[in-house]
Structure 1
C-alpha cells in the first residue's frame, strides 16, 4: 500500500535550510508526474519533515517500464489531484527556502520545468544542487554514485523509488558531505567541493555544475569555432 504524508504547514518548517525533492513519473510525457517526495532540512542539520503525495498525471497512460521501477499504477492515482493542486501547497515552501536538492538534478529539475510548462504555470525562482555531484566530489572512490550506492555507504535507510524515501536519502547525502568535510553549511560546502548551484527562474535555467565541468566548458570555448562543432 502506498503511504501518503501531507505537506506540512509553512509555519511548521521555519528555519529550513534546504528541501530535497524527488519525482516519480508515469511515462516520458511532459506533465506525467505521478508521485512527489520531499524532505526538509532544518537549521540543526537534520531532516525535520517528510512528505509524499500521489499525483494524477495529465496523461494517464503509464509506461510498463515506469510501473516496474516505482510500482505506481493508474488505479493508485485516479482520484488524486493533478499537479497544479499540489503545486499550490508546495510553492510557498520553495519560495521560503534558499535551496532545493535533488539526486540527479537534471532529471528532477527537468521534470519540474516540463510539468509546469505543460500546465502553463511559471517557473519559480530558486537555487538547486545535484547531490550526485556532491557525492562524486566528496566520495570519488565509490564504485558509482547512484542513490542506493551512496545511501548504503552512509548507512541511510532507503526504500528506493518511494519518492519520500529517495528525497530523505538525498538530504542525508548532503548532510553527510557537510559532516565529513567539516563544512558549516551549504555556502561553506560548495566552494570546498568546487560545485556551483544551478538556477531556475521564469524562462531561465542554469544547471548545477562541478569544477571539472566548468574547466571542460572553458577549454571548449577557447577552441576555434570549427572544432567546437565537432
Structure 2
C-alpha cells in the first residue's frame, strides 16, 4: 500500500490557521520518509489550542507561511496519490482553506479517513479518537497532538488495518476530495 498520512495543528478555530504540518510517506506498506514543519499562520493563537498542542506564537514567528511550504509538498496532492488522515474532513479542510487563503487553487486528491476505517473495522472500541485507536491496536503515540507523532500513528493504523482486513476492503473507503 502506498499513501501519505497528513496531520495539521491549528492556531485557533479557523481552518486557515495551520501552525504545523506533518506528512508521512508510506511505500510498499512501509514508512519511508517524513516531513514536519511549523507554519506561521499570520493569525492569533487561541489559548485552548496552545493548551492542546503546545505551539505558541513565539514558536512560529520565524516559521514559513504556508504559501512557502506548499511548493515543496504539492506533488503529493493529486488524483494519483492517496492521503490518509485521522478525521480527514478536518485536515482536508485546513489544507483547502489555507491554500484558498493564499489564492492557491486547492487540488483534488484521493483521501481515506482512519476515523471511518476504525469505526468500520473495529466497532468494539470505546471511541475512535486517535489515542484510543492507537492504544487498542498497540501503536505507540507518545506525543499526541504533535503533528508528526499523529501522522505516524495514522499511518500505522492504516497499515495495521490493511494487514488485518486487506487492501481491497480499504479501497472501498477511498474518496476523491471535492
TM over 0.5: yes
Deviation string, structure 1 residues 68-98 (Cα, Å, up to 9, x no partner): 0000000000001000111110101334852
2:162 paired with 1:178 = yes
Name 1:151's counterpart in structure 2. 134
Q: TM-score, normalised by structure 2?
A: 0.94
Question: SS of the residue aligned with 1:114?
Answer: helix
Do the aligned residues in 2 keep the contact of 1:41 with 1:171 (CA within 8 Å)? yes
Q: TM-score, normalised by structure 1?
A: 0.73
Structure 2 gaps, min length 5 = none
Name 1:42's counterpart in structure 2. 27
Do the aligned residues in 2 keep the contact of 1:102 with 1:129 (CA within 8 Å)? yes
The one of 58, 74, 83 aligned to 1:75: 58
Larger RCO (CA within 8 A; separation ≥ 6) = 2
2:110 paired with 1:122 = no
Question: SS of the residue aligned with 1:29?
Answer: coil
5 Å-filtered alignment, 1:7-26, equals: 17-26=2-11
Moved over 4 A (4+): none
C-alpha separation between the residues in 2 aligned to 1:47 and 1:154? 17
Mark the CA change 1:157 to 1:22 in structure 2 (over 3 Å): closer, same or farther: same
TM-align CA RMSD: 1.5
Name 1:86's counterpart in structure 2. 69
Structure 1 gaps, min length 5 = 1-15, 206-230
CA drift of 1:52 comes to: 1.1
C-alpha separation between the residues in 2 aligned to 1:190 and 1:93? 20
C-alpha separation between the residues in 2 aligned to 1:119 and 1:17? 29
Aligned length: 177
C-alpha separation between the residues in 1 aligned to 2:8 and 2:78? 19
Question: SS of the residue aligned with 2:12?
Answer: coil
